[in-house]
Structures are given as structure tokens and as C-alpha cells.
Amino acid sequence: MAQESPKNSAAEIPVTSNGEVDDAHEHGYNRDLKHSLPSGLGLSETQITSHGFDSTKEGVIEAGASQGGQRTHTKGGPVILADEIKNPAMEKLELVRKWSLNTYKCTRQIISEKLGRGSRTVDLELEAQIDILRDNKKKYENILKLAQTLSTQLFQMVHTQKQLGDAFADLSLKSLELHEEFGYNADTQKLLAKNGETLLGAINFFIASVNTLVNKTIEDTLMTVKQYENARVEYDAYRTDLEELNLGPRDANTLPKIEQSQHLFQIHKEKYDKMRSDVSVKLKFLEENKVKVLRNQLVLFHSAVAAYFAGNQKQLELTLKQFHVKLKTPGVDAPSWLEEQ
């Protein structure tokens, strides 16, 4: 008879009548193991699951930690990572990285151009039109400033003429021996003040139109020009990068970089072409609008000034009616919206 191997109680695995492992004995063993563990491990439950020796599966140790009334289970063995969830912070970091890289390339391109080392894409016809526009803007701003000064001085003169006319009229009533003389001067000053107000209305209308042309229409076009110039710098920066990569060796490491650079270059080239087309269209419409506005305003300014200094009150009023200039009557408030309806 073969000698039986000594058995340890811990190695005994009771089996039920159908060949399955007796769970009652296993749970009792788990309880004994749990009580034998140090309390400092912070484990609320430890379970060891045993399998048959002929099983290909490995034993699994489950440890559950209790935190805030909730139990989380950590299983040993192979670890499977879920798909990475997109993090808004990571997306922002990627945007910052792209912006920093683009800024670096553009800054390097600008410095290279100023030092005379880098090449620059130039549209001679478009650049000439932009230079003329900027020069004209400075000249129109000077005209606008002078017209505003003239308006201020004319307003002060008209105000003085009104006061002088009132003073003459008062003396005409109190000085009987000079009644007619004071009366003539009072009428003259009041007439001059009235004509001055009419001229002032024409000058202020001229100022408002030129101000809209300079500070809105031309400024809007110059903003598009600025965007075009930024697109040009980006285009040249990525063009330079592509040229440098094409001059270098072509191998497994450089080919992906060349393809990426070619892709970025094509994107900025399309952006540059679009901005150049937008600037050309805006310059064309601006020129047409500028000629139309300035022609009308210059005719109004000339006719009003000529009629005022010629003393032709009817011609002065007719000029303002012709250009639909409405004068504000002193001491009269603007009509309410009901009256305008």
C-alpha cells in the first residue's frame, strides 16, 4: 500500500457531492485570513478565491477599500485601460502650443526680413494702393482737424455777433438820439449771426461726412489690410520652413515632417490668397465711395462759404436745401418720436 502524504488543514479543499468546491469552508478560511491581517493595512475586506490545480486560470485576490460608505474593488492580474476621455485642459494646452509655435515662426520671419536675410512675398500693385490709402488717410485727418478748428472759431464768432446784436438793440431802445444807428447795427449783427449759423451747419455736415469716411470706412479697410499683412507673414514663415526641409535629406524621419510642412503651407497659402482678394475688393469699393462722398461734400463746402462771404443769404439757404442739410433752430428741442412719425 502506498504511503499517504501528510495533509495540512490549510490545503484541504472540501468537495460536495457534485464535485464543486465547498464555499462554506472557503468563506471560513477567508474570515480566518482577514482576522490574521494587521489592522493598519486599511482593508475592509480581503477575499481569496482558489481554483482547481488543473485550471488554467490564476488565483485572483480582491481587495475592497471602504471610503465614505462606498466600496471600490481593485482586481489584480492583467490591466485594461479604457479609452482616454478628452480633457478640456489638454485641448487648451494643445491650442496654446500651436499658437506659441505659430508666433515663434512669424516672429522669426519678421526678424529675418528686417535683417535682410529672409525673402518676402510682395504684390507690387496692391502694396502701392495700400501706401496711397495710408497717405490719403493722414491728409484727410489733417483736413478734418482744420475743419473742426474752423467750426469752433465760427461758433464763437456767431455767439459774439448775437451778443453784440442784442447789445445794439438794447441801446437802440434806450438812446432815442441814436435809435436808428443802433438799430441798423443790431439788424446787421443778427443777420450775420443767422448766416453764420447756416454756414456752421454746412461745415458741421461736411465734418460729419469726412469723419465717417476717415474713421469708419477707411479704418475698416485698413483693418482688413492688417489681417492681410499678418496672413502674408504666416505664409512666408511656413514657405521658408518648407524650403529648408526640401533642401535637407529625405529619409524615413524627414518625410513625415515634409508632408506636415507641405500641408500647413497649403493652408496658409489659401488664407493669404483669400485675404489678398478681400483687400483688393475693399480698396476698389472704398475708392468709389470716397470719390462720391468727397465730391458732394466739397461742392457743399465751396458753395456755402462763397455764398456766406458774398452776403447772399438766399443762395446760402438754397445750398443747404440742395444737400438736404437740416439746421437746428436755437432754443428748440428735437421733435419727439411721435412728431417724427
pTM of the shown model:
0.63
The full length of the chain comes to 341
Mean pLDDT of 104-112: 81
pLDDT digits (tens, 9 = 90+) for 229-281: 999 999 888 888 888 888 877 788 878 888 888 898 899 999 999 999 999 99
Chain-wide mean pLDDT for the chain? 76
Better pLDDT: 74 or 284: 284
Across-strand partners of 45? 64
Look at residue 277 in the predicted model and tell me its pLDDT: 94
20 has a pLDDT exceeding 50 = no
Look at residue 320 in the predicted model and tell me its pLDDT: 86
88 has a pLDDT exceeding 90 = no
Q: Which domains does the chain have, with CATH numbers?
A: 138-324 (1.20.1270.60)
pLDDT digits (tens, 9 = 90+) for 54-84: 444 444 444 444 444 444 444 455 544 444 5
List the 60-67 sheet strands across, edge first.
45-49, 60-67, 70-75
Q: Residue 147's closest CA among 196, 210, 195, 197?
A: 210
The H or E element that residue 216 is part of is none
Q: Residue 210's closest CA among 136, 128, 131, 315?
A: 136
Distance, C-alpha 39 to centroid of its chain: 61
Angle, in degrees to the nearest 10, between helices 179-212 and 313-322: 20
Assign 21 to helix, strand or coil: strand
Residue 33 pLDDT level (bands cut at 50, 70, 90): very low
pLDDT digits (tens, 9 = 90+) for 141-162: 999 999 999 999 999 999 999 9
